[in-house]
Amino acid sequence: MTDTAPLLQVCKVCKSFPGVRALHEIDLTLHRSEVLALIGENGAGKSTLMKILAGVQPPDTGEIRVDGQPVEIRTVNDALDAGIALIHQELNLADNLTVGANIYLGREPRRLGLIDTKRMNRDARDVLRRVGLDVDPATPLSQLSIGRQQLVEIAKALSINARVLIMDEPTSSLSAHETETLFDVVKDLRNKGVSVIYISHRLGEVKELADRVTVMRDGENAGDLDHAQIDHDAMVRLMVGRDISQFYARQQHPIGDTLLEVRGLATPTWPGHRLSFKVHRGEIVGVAGLVGAGRTEMLRTLFGIDRRLTGEVLIDGQPVEITSPIEAIEHGLALVPEDRKQHGLVVDMSVRHNVGLAGLHRNARTGGMLNQAQEDHDTAEMIGKLNIKTPGPDQVAKFLSGGNQQKVVIGKWLALSPRLLLLDEPTRGIDVGAKEEIYKLMERLAEQGMAVLFVSSELEEVMGMSDRVIVMHEGAITGELMRDELSEEAVMQLATGRQKSPAA
Ligand SMILES: Nc1ncnc2c1ncn2[C@@H]1O[C@H](COP(=O)(O)OP(=O)(O)OP(=O)(O)O)[C@@H](O)[C@H]1O
Ligand SMILES: [Mg+2]
C-alpha cells in the first residue's frame, strides 16, 4: 500500500446488459476525505457503476483498486470488507421490521445464540442520533415517512463504519430540514476521513457539497470538474452536451372555465381540516409546502385512493363521487404518484404494457379490450416525447434506470389524455434535460386546455411553472398566490404557517 495512491480507483470498467451497453471503459478516482459528486443524465450508468463497487453485480471487464491494490469485489460482503457501503437509489429496507432490526439486518448482535434486542436498539440509537433522527429503534419502519426511512438507510451505512459511502440520490425524498441534516452528516463524515460518492440530479446540492465532480454520459466519462470549476452551466454542458438556458419558459395563454372545484374536502390524514380550491382549464396550479404538509394526501383523496371524509368535489360544475381510481379515471383524472415504484409502475412488465395499463383502465367499463395498435402508438409516442432510454418498447421496466422508470409512469398517465392531470413530485429523480422536456409537456398540455395540479418540493420549479400556487401547512391550505405575487419568501411564509389561514 502506498500513501499516495487514491483511496479508490475504477479503471476501464465495462458492463453490458442484453441490448444495453451500460458502461464503457469508465475511470473514476476517489481520494481520502473527499466528497465526489457523480452526475449524468438518466441512464448514463451511475447506479450501474455504484452497484459494481458495492458488489451487487460484477463488472464485465476492468479493475477496481483500493489503496492502490487491485481488489475483487464479487459480493456485497467483499465490498463491506473493502469498506464500501451503498445506499441504494430505491430504498432497500424491510417494511415489516423495526428501525433497529433494519439497521443490523443480517449482523444482529447476539447473546446465547439469540438476537440481543436490547443491545441492538441501544447501538441503533447511537447511529440514529448521528443522522439526527429522533425515533425509537423499536418503531416499525413502516411508520416512518419515506424521508425518515432514507435517514435510517444512512444510519445503517454508518453502523458499518464504511470508508467509502455511496449515496445514490439520497435527498430525492427528504424535506429541506432532513436534507440539511444529511449535508451536516456528510460534511462531518468527510472531516472524519470518510469519502463519499454522491449522486444527485440537484445541481445546487452538488455545488454546495462536492469537492470534485465526475460526469458520465452514455456510459462513458464525459469530464471532471475541480472544486473551483463547479458551476451549474459547466455541469449541464458536460451532462447533456448543450446549454439549457430558458428553463421555465412559460407562455401566456388564456385560462378557461373552472374544471375542478373542491369544497370543504377532508382527508383521512387530516380529518380536522377542510380544503377548498379551484383549478381551471388550461391552468397549471402548483401545490407548495413542506414534506408532510398533506399535499400527497390531498391528491390521493381526490383520486379516490384515500377516502374522502366530508366535502364536495365538482367537475365541470357537477358534483362527482370518486371512491376509486377507476372512477377518477372515468371522470377524466390521472395521477402520477409520488412513490412510483409502489403505485405507478409494474416493474416486471414491459414498458409497452405499463403504458398500455392506463388504456386498460380507460376501457375497463367498455369491454376492457386491449387495443394493440393504440398501445404501440402510445408507447412509441411516449418513448419519443419523454426521451425514455430503453432498447425498445418490450424492455422490462425494472431494467430501466431510476429516472427512466419515472418517465414511463408519467407516459402511462399522459396516454390517457386526462382532463385533469395530478402530478406528485413529477421531476423527482429526473435529469435536467428531461426536466425541461416535462416542463414543456406540462405547458403544452395546459395550452390544449388540460388542467394541471402539481405538487412539488422544489420551490424553483413551483415558482417557474405555476399560474397560481396553493400553499399547505400541516394539513391546511394557508394561502394562494397568483403568478405575479410569487416570491420564495411569500411561499415559505405560508408553508411554515406563519400567516393566518383564511381557508382552514
Ligand atoms: N439489470 C439490468 N438489465 C438491463 N439493463 C440495465 C440493467 N441495469 C441497468 N440497465 C441499463 O443500463 C443503463 C444505465 O442505467 P443506470 O441505472 O446505471 O443509470 P443511472 O445513471 O443511474 O440513471 P438515473 O439517473 O435515471 O438513475 C440504462 O440504459 C439501464 O436501462
Ligand atoms: Mg440511478
The 10s digit of each residue's pLDDT in 172-214 is: 777 777 888 889 889 988 998 899 999 998 888 999 999 999 9
**Using a 6 Å CB cutoff, which residues line ligand 1?**
17, 20, 22, 40, 42-48, 89, 389, 399-404, 431
Is 359 a domain residue?
A: no
- Averaged over 426-431, what is the pLDDT? 86
Is 356 a domain residue?
A: no
Q: Minimum-distance ligand to the CA of 51?
A: 1
How far apart are the CA of 57 and the centre of ligand 2, in A? 14
Give yes or no: residues 264 and 196 share one domain.
no
Number of domains in the chain: 2
Report yes or no: 170 and 161 within 8 Å, Cβ to Cβ.
no
Q: Minimum-distance ligand to the CA of 404?
A: 1
Which range, 125-134, 230-239, 272-281, 339-348, has the best average confidence (pLDDT)? 272-281
Is 346 a domain residue?
A: no
- At which of 240, 268, 296 does a domain end? 240
Give yes or no: residues 217 and 252 share one domain.
no
Give yes or no: residues 136 and 273 share one domain.
no
Give yes or no: residues 191 and 273 share one domain.
no
d(CA 49, CA 29): 13
Is 361 a domain residue?
A: no
Q: Which residue of 48, 198, 394 sits with most ligand 1 atoms within 8 Å of its CB, as the best mutation to test the pocket?
A: 48
* Residue 199: domain span: 8-240
The reported pLDDT for the residue numbered 96 is: 87
Give yes or no: residues 106 and 205 share one domain.
yes
Q: Minimum-distance ligand to the CA of 43?
A: 1
Q: Which residue of 20, 39, 201 sits with most ligand 1 atoms within 8 Å of its CB, as the best mutation to test the pocket?
A: 20
d(CA 504, CA 497): 12
CATH of the domain at 183: 3.40.50.300
d(CA 246, CA 317): 37
Q: Which residue of 17, 57, 197, 203 sits with most ligand 1 atoms within 8 Å of its CB, as the best mutation to test the pocket?
A: 17
Is 372 a domain residue?
A: no
Give yes or no: residues 252 and 208 share one domain.
no
Give yes or no: residues 284 and 198 share one domain.
no
Q: Is the four-CA dihedral 488, 491, 495, 497 of positive or negative sign?
A: positive
Give yes or no: residues 444 and 497 share one domain.
yes
Is 337 a domain residue?
A: no
Task: Give, using CA atoms, the residue closest to atom 29 of ligand 1.
Answer: 43
Is 369 a domain residue?
A: no
The reported pLDDT for the residue numbered 385 is: 83
Predicted structure pTM score: 0.80
Give yes or no: residues 46 and 76 share one domain.
yes
Lowest mean pLDDT among 130-134, 247-251, 412-416: 247-251
Which range, 2-11, 83-92, 278-287, 353-362, has the best average confidence (pLDDT)? 278-287
Is 307 a domain residue?
A: yes
Give yes or no: residues 109 and 19 share one domain.
yes
The reported pLDDT for the residue numbered 249 is: 66
Report yes or no: 147 and 174 within 8 Å, Cβ to Cβ.
yes
Give yes or no: residues 131 and 271 share one domain.
no
Give yes or no: residues 160 and 60 share one domain.
yes
d(CA 302, CA 16): 43
